[in-house]
Structure 1
């Protein structure tokens, strides 16, 4: 009979531990995926901004040395990501491929102009800064026109700000929910041992002595849960990086290291805080209140 009761208690204890580990792992996994999105939001936003092109069209009588000087100036400018010289012949060829016919043969001449396509660094892709850059380039005597998509620049800048804001809001809300869920699982685990806690207290054990094994046990469960979550996050990162290489998730490994360390420490921290306050609550209860 005693053996059956001991087996039942052992199964109940294992079930309780499994529940805590599973809760921690699931919550930290989702939190880690959201953290990965937050840490890579700026990089993805920068990639979008750096696709915007400013086209600097040159006058017909522009000298080769003037083109070279402009390219050197652009190369040394802090706002330049890259600059590419496009001759009017190359531009005509690209345009013909896009429309599916040779418009030069149809017109009898090439109406396009030599140009330099400039891609900007992400920090300079705002309506005000792009307008200022375009105005500066237009002042050069051999520049005929500076063209860029003003609507697209404004739209991209506004969209990036909105997306960044809502991701931060979602992160804050989800972090709060994550803490509540893990805290709830740990409190339920300790609730089943409330009589043991009160018995130890009644025989003279100090609060620190009683709390210590519970805190250490749940910290270990938190570490196990965090490890499982990190393995799952690692699998997601590997899959995404393999199938969507353009996202460049592994280009900056320190971001992943920061995320992994943060998730692991968060699992330990939440487990410690939740266990501390859960045990404290039962330590402060009167004996007759343990039945409610």
Structure 2
């Protein structure tokens, strides 16, 4: 008797799972068909959701592009070693040669005092004024180019070590402007999170309001279903899948809007970067950010539907 009951239970479990999956597949197909039949109204809701999701996604895309541009600038940073006036050109060239062999250094360039003066005249336009000076006020300079991808701490340590050379008066790495850029990006990233949180609530309200209207249109049908013994979970299921469709299509619209923005701005951005000798191009949303945006749309659509249906079903009772 026990073995017969066990076999019966083993046979019922796959059947229950099969029926459960079939019920969900039916709801997916049913809600998709209803979405298609009300395509114009559904797309209006999805378009509002898409715009709401596109704003934080577009800001995130902008931050990532600026961060990538800042990293490309960081890899081109150079340290300037201002030599003492007592250092001869031979000593300066020898020091530049020794520094080039240090770990973390890609290249060096020695600029004598006379070359520094000529370069300053050409760049500043003050050539006639500088000719009135009795002596050359500019020091010799060694420009040090670090290897690409060097870590920030290693670069700082390298500059400190080079500044301790006896021939060096001052070692300078002007990266304050880059640190300010990174600070501004950190602030914008935090702002994107705040905006995303606020707009997430807006998506939940949008989906919830749409589902509420759908529930009111089917109020009599829901009362009949409750009268014949349908559970709240059974009644709730199609509305939840409808919320999922709203979120999914809204995420797709948001992705199209962000990619369209990138395509529209790519030409002017590339032209501006070309004026500074850079081949930088705007990049769209990467795969991870795209997955997060679609996942957020689906989750928010489901939450909006669940929140509304759970509240409304408590108010609808058969007469």
Range of TM-score over shorter length: 0.7 to 0.9
Q: Which runs of 5+ in 2 are unaligned?
A: 1-34, 274-279
CA RMSD of aligned residues (A): 3.6
User: In structure 2, how many angstroms separate the alpha carbons of the residues matched to 1:105 and 1:159?
Assistant: 38
Choose from 28, 38, 44 the match for 1:19: 44
Secondary structure of 2:101's match?
A: helix
Taking the aligned partners of 1:256 and 1:277, their CA distance within structure 2 comes to 31
Other structure's SS at 1:249 match: coil
- Residue 213 of structure 1: aligned partner: 238
1:270 aligns with 2:300: yes
Q: Residues 211-266 of structure 1, C-alpha deviation per residue, up to 9 Å, x if partnerless?
A: 2222222222222221121111111112333221345433xx7x622222221221
Match of 1:69 in 2: 98
Is 1:124 the counterpart of 2:129? The answer is no
Q: Does structure 2 retain, via aligned residues, the 8 Å contact 1:84–1:117?
A: yes
Does the 8 A contact of 1:47 with 1:122 survive in 2? no
Counting only pairs closer than 5 Å after superposition, residues 1-292 of structure 1 correspond to structure 2 as: 13-14=38-39, 16-40=41-65, 42-46=67-71, 53-58=78-83, 59-60=87-88, 61-62=90-91, 64-73=93-102, 76-77=103-104, 83-88=107-112, 90-100=115-125, 102=127, 112-118=138-144, 124=152, 130=156, 133-148=158-173, 153=176, 157=179, 160-161=182-183, 163-194=184-215, 195=219, 196-245=221-270, 246=273, 248-250=281-283, 256-287=286-317
User: How many residues of Structure 1 are paired with residues of Structure 2 in the alignment?
Assistant: 264
Structure 1 residue 116: Cα displacement:
2.3
Partner of 2:24: none
1:97–1:63 Cα change, 3 Å? closer
Q: Which whole-Å CA distance do the structure 2 matches of 1:107 and 1:37 have between them? A: 49
User: 1:199: Cα distance to partner?
Assistant: 3.8
| Distance change (3 Å), C-alpha of 1:158 and 1:87 | closer
Residues 189 and 258 (structure 1 numbering): CA distance in 2 closer, same or farther, change over 3 Å?
A: same
Given that 2:93 and 2:110 are in contact with CA atoms closer than 8 Å, whether structure 1 keeps it comes out as: no
What's 2:20 paired with?
A: none
Instruction: State whether residues 225 and 267 of structure 1, in contact with CA within 8 Å, keep that contact through their aligned partners in structure 2.
Output: yes
State the structure with more CA Rg. Answer: 2
SS in 1 for 2:120: helix
Going from structure 1 to structure 2, the CA distance change for 1:109 and 1:36 (only over 3 Å counts) comes to same
TM-score (normalizing by structure 1): 0.73
Distance 2:289 2:269 in 1: 20
Task: Give unpaired runs (5+ residues) of structure 1.
Answer: 1-9
CA gap of 1:173–1:102, structure 2 versus 1, over 3 A, is: closer
Instruction: Please state whether the residue corresponding to 2:315 is helix, strand or coil.
Output: coil
Give the TM-score taking structure 2 as reference length: 0.68
Q: How far apart are the structure 2 equivalents of 1:122 and 1:197?
A: 65
Distance 2:182 2:151 in 1: 12
CA deviations over 1:256-284 (Å, ceiling 9, x no partner): 22222221221111111221222122122
Q: Tell me the alpha carbon deviations over residues 165-188 of structure 1, each in whole angstroms, 9 at most, x when there is no partner.
A: 432432232122222221112112
C-alpha distance in 2 between matches for 1:244 and 1:106: 44
Say which SS state the counterpart of residue 117 (structure 1) adopts. strand
Q: Once the two structures are superposed, what CA deviation does each residue of 1:51-98 show, in whole Å capped at 9, x if it has no partner?
A: 76431134224164432220221xx22xx6x65414235533421211
Residue 35 of structure 1, CA deviation: 1.9
Segments ≥4 residues shifted beyond 6 Å: none
